[in-house]
Homo-oligomer: A and B are copies of this chain.
Amino acid sequence: MRSEGTVLPRFGASPDDKFRGKHILSVKQFDRSDIDRVLRVAHEMRTVVDVVGSIDLLKGCVLANLFYEPSTRTSSSFIAAMQRLGGDVVAINEVRYSSVAKGETLEDTVRTLEAYADVMVLRHHEEGAAARAASVMRKPLINAGDGAGEHPTQALLDLFTMREEVGRLEGIEIALVGDLKYGRTVHSLARLAHYYDITLRLVSPPSLAMPASVLADMDALGTKYTVHESLDDVLGSLDILYMTRVQKERFANIADYEAVKGSYVITPKTMSGMRANTALLHPFPRVDEIDTAVDNDPRAAYFREIACGMVVRMALLAMVLGRA
């Protein structure tokens, strides 16, 4: 709503306007320099949070945080991110119980809510919902997951966490472990790995292997990777072990599930086979694929990963609002 003439405070060493007013819909819209910039701003935001907790960069701005399906983790992360930038949040979590949900199109709902807000975050259960919403909006939209579609902030926060944990992304070795077939985030990571010359170890049961379409993209991009069934094959040489959940409901028969589930559980014994500086990540929630006995191991980085999620979202909110 602000006029173009207003002089606003800017954040960071080298703010530019590339993302000002832009939608964040897909990782596909980010080239290497874009990702570098997000990670650099996120690192600065992390310093702000560590040292002073908050900053008044988005004071007076309002975020409409519109969640059609509940996701306490992602929703809370965006809310806290906006608040730590000094902004306010209209949190709409109850869409399914609301009259908005009855007989009103997504397009009408988002045009209504953008009338109150400066920026919107949308979580929706239908693939493509974010693009549909963005097509009618004038304010920037950040996709917080649309069904089987994209969840770009998750991929960015994973990369950010990896860089913070290892110290760099260039040339590192990452194992993606568990369900590589259905996981949106591992597909995104697989397609981004080539930017940093990352070597991927794809570890899964054959029934949950990385889809051919993703492998084809990786081949086309020149991504280095190997395929494994056993985690033991790769455990000793990793910079990052990225666990995912093997979901029972993905299996047609229970015997197939029982056969593989034990192979992909991280225990203190697994940790003993890892290097001293391998970081263990997991996009959460976990069920039993990481034993809680591992939580206090300094290499267990999944709670730090959650904090990284907030600062990456701070970076994106500040960037689309033209303040970083």
Chain A interfacial positions (CB closer than 8 Å to B) = 1-3, 6, 49-55, 59-62, 64, 70-73, 76-77, 79-81, 83-84, 88, 90-95, 97-100, 102-105, 107-109, 111-113, 115-118, 136, 284-287, 292, 295, 303-304, 306-307, 309-310
Contact = CB atoms under 8 A, between A and B. Distances in A.
A99 B287 CA distance: 12
A133 to B, nearest CB: 14
Contact of A1 (B49, B64, B102, B306): B49
Q: How many copies does the complex hold?
A: 3
Contact of A107 (B6, B97, B292, B309): B292
A76 B116 contact: yes
Which residue of A77, A84, A310 has the most chain B CB atoms within 10 A of its CB atom? A84
Given A83-B62, A83-B90, A112 B73 contact: yes
B83 A88 contact: yes
Contacts of A100: 72-73, 285
Contacts of A61: 53-54
13 contacts: A1-B49, A3-B50, A6-B51, A54-B59, A55-B60, A60-B84, A62-B80, A73-B112, A81-B116, A99-B285, A115-B306, A116-B307, A116-B310
Which residue of A59, A112, A116 has the most chain B CB atoms within 10 A of its CB atom? A116
Contacts of A113: 72, 76
Given A73-B100, A100-B285, A53 B92 contact: no
B76 A303 contact: no
A208 to B, nearest CB: 19
B94 A70 contact: yes
Contact of A108 (B104, B285, B307): B285
Which residue of A59, A80, A81, A303 has the most chain B CB atoms within 10 A of its CB atom? A80
Contacts of A83: 62, 88, 90
A134 to B, nearest CB: 15
Contacts of A77: 116
